[in-house]
Amino acid sequence: MLKGIYREAVKGTTSGWLEPERRSTYLSRSLLELWAKSDAKKTPQDGAEPFDFDLTTDTNALELAGFEIKVERERPNAAVLAVKLNYRKPYYRPGPPAVVTYDFIREDGRWRIDNFRTRTWSVRDMLSDWLKAS
């Protein structure tokens, strides 16, 4: 699943997997419900959204050159995978390499993403904060 998502990202086709019509292929029921509540709070007038950057690549403008996926933990019904991101040169991002970590759960016999996060943000936290602020 993650290989496919990040292969698209390297081609420049980022975050299409997060479009409302495609989310159910990837996300857990509880994350889908949270995201749907957040979508329902958006108003067409202001166009504001809970995210102002590309979640897949953890950036606003850097282009992805490659990625490395590492399994951090795996159990029969849960897994944690980390995706180390490599950006195209001459772009530079200070600090340690960017890593997006995915928490998977098994639902209905399939792996689903239940959260994804970095050291500075979590999709679940941002969606929850958006709902509280709206």
pLDDT digit string (tens) for 33-59?
Answer: 999 998 888 765 565 677 888 899 998
Q: What is the pTM of this model?
A: 0.90
Measured in Å, how far apart are the chain's first and last C-alpha atoms? 32
Q: What is the pLDDT of residue 12?
A: 80
Q: Whole-angstrom Cα distance, residue 109 to residue 41? A: 31
CATH of the domain at 86: 3.10.450
As given in the structure block, the two tokens for residue 15 are 């975050």
Range of the domain at 44: 2-133
- What is the total count of domains within the chain? 1
What b/e readout covers 72-81, taking b as 16+ CB neighbours within 10 angstroms? eeeeeeebeb
- Alpha helices by DSSP H, listed for 1-134, are 2-10, 23-26, 29-41, 123-133
- Tens of each residue's pLDDT in the chain, 134 residues: 999 999 989 988 666 898 889 999 999 999 999 999 988 887 655 656 778 888 999 988 788 899 999 999 999 999 999 999 998 887 777 778 899 999 999 999 999 999 999 999 999 999 999 888 86
For the chain, the C-alpha Rg in angstroms (whole number) is 15
